[in-house]
């Protein structure tokens, strides 16, 4: 052990003496600290703003005066998704999906106002976040420092004396790995910091820990790779070239090819196309605004029979409300059926894409990071589903008020002048059917479970690379 | 020269990097063309469905008001014949909408988006290969040019045998970069010919690739002197690449976004909704007064024919809803425009930005094109209003036969 420690200390001495190594470390540290702070501030601001907007939206809804309940169905409501605590580390899909949805009767809207749409387009990799710096760029630093750890001894002709002095290849490998480990532990501090800050705003320790450990393994994979190449090649130029090619392939090329492959293998149709295909189905349902739509003939007969009356005017309840409610129910079933189909397809695409994790540790870690942070596709889908549940609830709540508290007669005469308007309305107390909406991602355990296959892929890479490294180190010759 | 050429092709590494470049380029343009043909097919299908749908819907109406209420109109932004090279804004901004006569502000921000995971990771299109990967290939081709000869002990010999040292290295590097440009641009040109891209566009793009990669060549030659080892030089160049291709663009985005704050999008739709919904409760005169500011020509038609609901009033307050939200909406649009203009200015200090924006500009997939589509949709919606108002206000009789061929139709030119 002491030999390894000496070797590691010697490696650090080398790095400290090299201006290039020091400058690289400093630059990457600054980059990391900078993005950590900026993303932290942005996410916290967004969180406060969205929560505030949510409260405001609820308050305006409740503050509406007495009116016809169906007016409130069309008045609608807004829900906002506040970024989860760990979005300070990985903002994930939030930037491309948008984080607010307008909920209204008879319609499922998409999320609006994605940041990515309004962003200044400057090329490159888009806005930087700590996650991005970890996933994309820290491997480059590890490559720059790590590719030479054994090759330098070889090129300085110190490898021979070292080996002949009884320092085995494995021990040398262990020492170099130790040196890189120290570097990695230092580099991982901002991730730990983000996890800690997130835990202050209520994130579970499990999520923070898994996120931190996942990134640690990821960095170790690159260290393992750099060491392996450093052991197995004869020239630093070649070693760097090989490592760089691996980086370009796994970080830049394979993920994008995975995207194309996922969308080719599991094509989706856009929302508009789905909507238009759905129209045939919807037309069969009848228009909930039109109580005499033939589609509701059976409902009419059943209702009359239920109350034992001949005419809808004699019903103790408002038949127009009954139609609105039944119409909304059938419509929502159809909407949900199509929406679920789309969400399922997207989830399938995502899992197709994450299948590429086995060939690209980058895809694995970025998936883990989004899963655990609660900024992944699955969480977005959960948001859509919860928003839809809220929409259906308040619309049906208003329809219930329509049925029970507004007389059919007043309803029919609602367009007869000012007086008609005044009589066709219900008390504003009915707006209380709107529930508070505070979006929270799944429990940490569920999020971690979702990330499990990718964590497994990372572990496999880690073990394989370390194994191969030790194996080659054992055969190390000057 | 022939000697240099032979010399270059004897280097195995050169073969590796050049074939990678060729492979990437082929892959990028193929995937891009595939995506664009899918988008075209989707538009064609939508157009067809839209026509069928409209006939069905219009057949069921009995007045102009409900015809306007129930009829949706497809609008779309067809991809250009060079869009395969850069998917650009089409991944995040809407390029198709279904619009009807209601307040536009409630409709135009809807997005028919792809799987968000895809937009997050990005496309493997030619713009990506040329802007971000090609510079790495230039670096890999050139970093060891002189240091390698130095390490092999041939540097002095080679330099002594050349008439001009500078010209020697420049021509040797130029040969490699030239081969790289060929490897990248040949698939692009082939794809362009298949897609029917204008030759000037293709040449402009190839020219941009030339200039951009020559810039990287100069930078690499400048920063990789023979006195340093190859590994040292490569590390330095990696840092430079990271700085130019990631850190500077990201910082520019951050700075521009912070210095041009946008009105909150949700605010626009909220204001519009309040205005539209309040209209039911306020005296109709008030709505009409606001409406007549824009349309004095209908001032004589606001008398209530009966106490019943009136479509013309309904559409008047829809328009007033848009009018109320207009300052915010305009600020939102101008903000985005300003961000884009600033990004355009900033690109002169950021080569990667300049390159990306140039290709997207040539492909009409930049912010400008996305904004132009938005304007076209706005114009079309205005056209719809202009078509319906003369039917709604004088209360013309609905003729089911007329609308299908007479209704405004969206096409690429706007109206």
How confident is the model over B136-157, as pLDDT tens digits?
999 998 887 777 777 777 877 7
Specify the pLDDT at position B306: 61
Chain-centre distance of CA A308, in angstroms?
54
CA distance A308 to B95: 54
Kindly report the nearest CA distance between residue A379 and chain B, in angstroms: 12
Burial call B385-410: b when 16+ CB within 10 Å, e when fewer = bebbbebbbeeeeeeeeebeeebbbb
Kindly report the nearest CA distance between residue A115 and chain B, in angstroms: 9
The length of chain B is 415
Kindly report the nearest CA distance between residue A1 and chain B, in angstroms: 30
**Do A468 and A226 touch, CB atoms closer than 8 A?**
no
Specify the pLDDT at position B1: 67
Burial call A5-39: b when 16+ CB within 10 Å, e when fewer = eebbeebeebbeebebbeebbeebeebbebbbebb
CA distance B290 to B267: 21
Interface of B with A in 188-207 (CB under 8 A): none
CA distance A182 to A142: 12
User: For residue A112, which of B34, B146, B71, B113 has the smallest C-alpha distance?
Assistant: B113
Q: List the single residue in A93, A125, A258 with the smallest CB-CB distance to B116.
A: A93
CA distance B81 to B111: 23
Greater pLDDT, B191 or B299: B191
Kindly report the nearest CA distance between residue B342 and chain A, in angstroms: 8
Phi, psi of A426, deg, nearest 5:
-120, 170
Kindly report the nearest CA distance between residue A309 and chain B, in angstroms: 29
Q: Which whole-number Å values give the CA distances from A465 to A142, A217, A357, A448, A470, in the listed order?
A: 15, 12, 15, 24, 9
A121/B343 Cβ within 8 A: yes
Cα dihedral B55, B59, B60, B66 sign = positive
Query: B403 falls in which pLDDT band (50, 70, 90)?
Result: low
Which residues have C-beta within 8 Å of that of residue B75, sequence separation ≥ 6? B96, B97, B98, B99, B376, B377, B380, B410
A112/B144 Cβ within 8 A: no
Tell me the count of A-B CB pairs closer than 8 A. 262
Q: List the single residue in A112, A255, A380 with the smallest CB-CB distance to B121.
A: A255
Query: B402 falls in which pLDDT band (50, 70, 90)?
Result: low
Q: Which whole-number Å values give the CA distances from B339 to B197, B362, B410, in the listed order?
A: 29, 19, 29
3-state secondary structure of B411: strand
Lowest model confidence (mean pLDDT) among A60-74, B38-52, B389-403? B389-403
**Do A119 and B257 touch, CB atoms closer than 8 A?**
yes
The length of chain A is 478
Provide the domain count of chain A.
Answer: 1
- Choose the mutation target among B49, B58, B115 for the interface with A, i.e. most A CBs under 10 Å: B115
Query: B413 falls in which pLDDT band (50, 70, 90)?
Result: very low
Specify the pLDDT at position B414: 39
Contacts of B270 in chain A (CB under 8 A): 57, 78
CA distance A143 to A236: 11
Q: Which whole-number Å values give the CA distances from A409 to A307, A327, A428, B95, in the listed order?
A: 17, 21, 20, 47
Mean pLDDT rounded to a whole number for chain B: 86
Specify the pLDDT at position A168: 81
Greater pLDDT, B402 or B282: B282
Domain of residue A205, residue span: 3-475
Kindly report the nearest CA distance between residue A238 and chain B, in angstroms: 9
Lowest model confidence (mean pLDDT) among A239-248, B68-77, B280-289? B280-289
User: For residue B173, which of B327, B295, B14, B311 has the smallest C-alpha distance?
Assistant: B14
B253/A127 Cβ within 8 A: yes
**Pair type for strands A77-80 and A100-103:** antiparallel
Task: For residue B200, give the DSSP letter.
Answer: H
Cα dihedral A146, A151, A155, A157 sign = positive
Specify the pLDDT at position B109: 86
Q: In this model, does residue B415 exceed pLDDT 60?
A: no
A268/B42 Cβ within 8 A: no
Contacts of B140 in chain A (CB under 8 A): 241, 244
Burial call B161-171: b when 16+ CB within 10 Å, e when fewer = eeeeeeebbee
DSSP H helical segments within B293-349, as ranges?
311-346
User: What string of pLDDT tens digits covers the 478 residues of chain A?
Assistant: 578 888 888 888 888 888 888 888 888 889 899 999 999 998 888 889 888 888 988 888 888 888 888 888 888 888 998 889 999 999 988 888 888 888 888 888 888 877 778 888 888 788 889 999 999 999 999 998 888 888 888 887 887 788 778 778 888 888 889 989 999 999 999 999 999 998 898 888 999 999 999 999 999 999 999 999 988 888 887 888 889 889 999 999 999 989 888 888 888 888 888 888 887 777 777 776 777 777 777 887 888 888 888 777 777 788 888 888 888 888 888 888 888 998 999 999 999 998 999 999 999 999 999 999 999 999 999 999 999 999 998 898 888 888 787 777 777 777 777 777 777 787 888 888 888 888 888 888 999 999 999 999 999 999 999 999 889 888 877 7
3-state secondary structure of A55: helix
**Closest A-chain CA to B338:** A120
Chain-centre distance of CA B108, in angstroms?
17
Q: How many CB atoms lie within 10 A of CB B149?
A: 18
**Do A426 and A69 touch, CB atoms closer than 8 A?**
yes
**Closest A-chain CA to B140:** A241
**Do B368 and B289 touch, CB atoms closer than 8 A?**
no
Contacts of B253 in chain A (CB under 8 A): 119-122, 126-127
Is B305 in CB contact (< 8 Å) with chain A?
Answer: no
The helix or strand, by DSSP H or E, that contains position A369, with its residue range, turns out to be helix A361-373
Q: In this model, does residue B203 exceed pLDDT 60?
A: yes
B133/A252 Cβ within 8 A: yes
**Do B350 and B252 touch, CB atoms closer than 8 A?**
yes
User: For residue A81, which of A393, A381, A397 has the smallest C-alpha distance?
Assistant: A381
Query: B404 falls in which pLDDT band (50, 70, 90)?
Result: low
Contacts of B340 in chain A (CB under 8 A): 120-121
Interface of B with A in 121-160 (CB under 8 A): 121-124, 128, 131-133, 136, 140, 143-144, 148
**Do B203 and B42 touch, CB atoms closer than 8 A?**
no
Interface of B with A in 359-398 (CB under 8 A): 360, 366-367
Q: Which whole-number Å values give the CA distances from B167 to B62, B148, B173, in the listed order?
A: 81, 18, 10
Q: Which whole-number Å values give the CA distances from B101 to B77, B98, B113, B314, in the listed order?
A: 20, 11, 23, 10
Which residues have C-beta within 8 Å of that of residue A340, sequence separation ≥ 6? none
CA distance A233 to B159: 30
The helix or strand, by DSSP H or E, that contains position A102, with its residue range, turns out to be strand A100-103
DSSP H helical segments within A63-204, as ranges?
69-75, 94-97, 115-118, 130-132, 138-146, 151-155, 159-164, 169-187, 189-200
**Pair type for strands B96-99 and B73-76:** antiparallel
Is B352 in CB contact (< 8 Å) with chain A?
Answer: yes
A123/B118 Cβ within 8 A: no
**Closest B-chain CA to A57:** B270
Tell me what the mean pLDDT of segment B167-196 comes to.
91
């Amino acid at each position: 052990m002491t030999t390894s420690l000496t070797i590691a200390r010697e490696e650090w001495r080398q790095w400290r003496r090299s201006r290039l190594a020091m400058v690289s470390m400093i630059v990457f540290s600054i980059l990391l600290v900078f993005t950590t702070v900026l993303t932290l501030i942005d996410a916290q601001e967004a969180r406060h703003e969205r929560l505030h907007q949510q409260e405001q939206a609820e308050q305006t809804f409740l503050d509406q005066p007495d009116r016809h309940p169906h007016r409130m169905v069309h008045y609608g409501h807004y829900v906002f998704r506040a970024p989860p605590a760990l979005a300070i580390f990985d903002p994930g899909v939030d930037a491309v999906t948008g984080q607010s949805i307008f909920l209204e009767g008879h319609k499922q809207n998409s999320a609006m106002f994605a940041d990515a749409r309004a962003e200044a387009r400057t090329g490159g990799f888009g806005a930087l976040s700590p996650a991005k710096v970890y996933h994309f760029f820290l491997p480059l630093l590890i490559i720059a420092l790590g590719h030479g750890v054994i090759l330098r001894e070889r090129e300085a002709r110190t490898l021979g004396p070292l080996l002949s002095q009884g320092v085995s290849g494995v021990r040398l490998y262990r020492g170099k790995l130790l040196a890189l480990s120290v570097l990695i532990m230092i580099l991982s501090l901002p991730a730990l910091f983000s996890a800690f800050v997130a835990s202050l705003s209520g994130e579970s320790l499990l999520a923070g820990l898994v996120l931190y450990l996942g990134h640690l393994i990821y960095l170790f994979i690159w260290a393992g790779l750099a060491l392996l190449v450093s052991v197995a090649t004869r020239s630093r130029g070649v070693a760097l070239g090989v490592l760089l090619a691996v980086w370009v392939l796994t970080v830049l090329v394979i993920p994008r090819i995975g995207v194309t492959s996922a969308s080719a293998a599991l094509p989706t149709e856009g929302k508009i196309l789905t909507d238009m295909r759905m129209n045939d189905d919807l037309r069969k349902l009848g228009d909930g605004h039109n109580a005499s739509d033939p589609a509701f003939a059976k409902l009419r007969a059943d209702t009359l029979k239920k109350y034992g009356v001949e005419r809808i005017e004699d019903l103790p309840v408002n038949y127009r409300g009954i139609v609105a409610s039944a119409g909304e129910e059938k419509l929502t079933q159809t909407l949900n059926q199509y929406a679920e189909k789309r969400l399922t397809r997207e989830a399938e695409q995502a899992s197709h894409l994450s299948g590429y994790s086995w060939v690209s540790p980058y895809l694995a870690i970025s998936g883990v990071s989004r899963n655990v942070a609660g900024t992944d596709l699955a969480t977005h889908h959960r948001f859509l589903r919860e928003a839809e549940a809220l929409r259906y609830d308040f619309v049906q709540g208003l329809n219930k008020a329509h049925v029970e508290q507004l007389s059919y007669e007043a309803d029919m005469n609602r367009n007869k002048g000012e007086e008609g308007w005044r009589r066709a309305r219900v008390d504003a107390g009915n707006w209380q059917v709107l529930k508070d909406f505070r979006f929270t991602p799944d429990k940490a355990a569920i999020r971690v479970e979702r990330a499990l296959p990718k964590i497994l892929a990372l572990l496999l890479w880690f073990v394989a690379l370390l194994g191969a490294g030790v194996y080659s180190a054992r055969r190390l010759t000057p | 020269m022939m000697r240099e050429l032979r010399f270059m092709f004897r280097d195995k590494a050169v073969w590796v990097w050049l074939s990678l470049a060729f492979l990437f380029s082929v892959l990028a343009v193929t995937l891009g063309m595939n995506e664009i043909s899918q988008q075209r097919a989707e538009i064609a299908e939508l157009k067809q469905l839209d026509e069928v749908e409209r006939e069905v819907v219009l057949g069921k109406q009995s007045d102009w008001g409900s015809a306007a209420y129930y009829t949706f109109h497809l609008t779309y932004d067809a991809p250009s014949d060079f869009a395969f090279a850069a998917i650009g804004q089409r991944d995040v901004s809407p390029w198709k909408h279904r619009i009807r006569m209601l307040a536009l502000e409630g409709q135009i921000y809807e997005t028919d988006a792809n799987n968000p995971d895809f937009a997050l990771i990005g496309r493997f299109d030619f713009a990506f290969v040329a802007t971000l990967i090609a510079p790495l290939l230039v670096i890999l081709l050139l970093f060891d040019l002189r240091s390698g000869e130095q390490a092999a002990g041939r540097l002095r010999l080679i330099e002594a045998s050349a008439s001009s040292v500078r010209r020697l290295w420049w021509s040797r590097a130029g040969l490699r970069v030239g081969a790289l440009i060929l490897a990248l641009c040949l698939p692009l040109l082939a794809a362009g010919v298949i897609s029917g891209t204008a030759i000037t566009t293709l040449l402009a793009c190839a020219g941009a690739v030339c200039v951009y990669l020559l810039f990287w060549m100069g930078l690499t030659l400048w920063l990789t002197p023979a006195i340093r080892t190859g590994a040292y030089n490569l590390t330095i160049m990696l840092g430079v690449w990271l700085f130019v291709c990631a850190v500077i663009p990201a910082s520019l985005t951050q700075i521009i976004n912070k210095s041009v704050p946008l009105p909150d999008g949700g605010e626009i739709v909220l204001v519009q909704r309040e205005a539209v919904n309040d209209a039911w409760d306020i005296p109709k005169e008030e709505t009409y007064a606001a409406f007549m500011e824009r349309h004095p020509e209908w001032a004589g038609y606001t008398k209530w024919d009966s106490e019943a609901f009136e479509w013309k009033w309904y559409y008047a307050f829809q328009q007033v809803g848009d009018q109320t939200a207009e300052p915010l909406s305009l600020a939102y649009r101008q903000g985005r425009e300003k961000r884009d203009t600033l990004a355009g200015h900033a690109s002169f200090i950021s080569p990667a930005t300049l390159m990306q924006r140039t290709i997207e500009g040539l492909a009409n997939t930049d912010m400008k094109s996305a904004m132009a589509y938005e304007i076209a949709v706005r114009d079309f919606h205005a056209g719809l209003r202009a078509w319906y108002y003369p039917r709604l206000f004088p209360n013309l009789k609905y003729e089911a036969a007329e609308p299908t061929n007479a209704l405004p139709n969206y096409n690429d030119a706007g109206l």
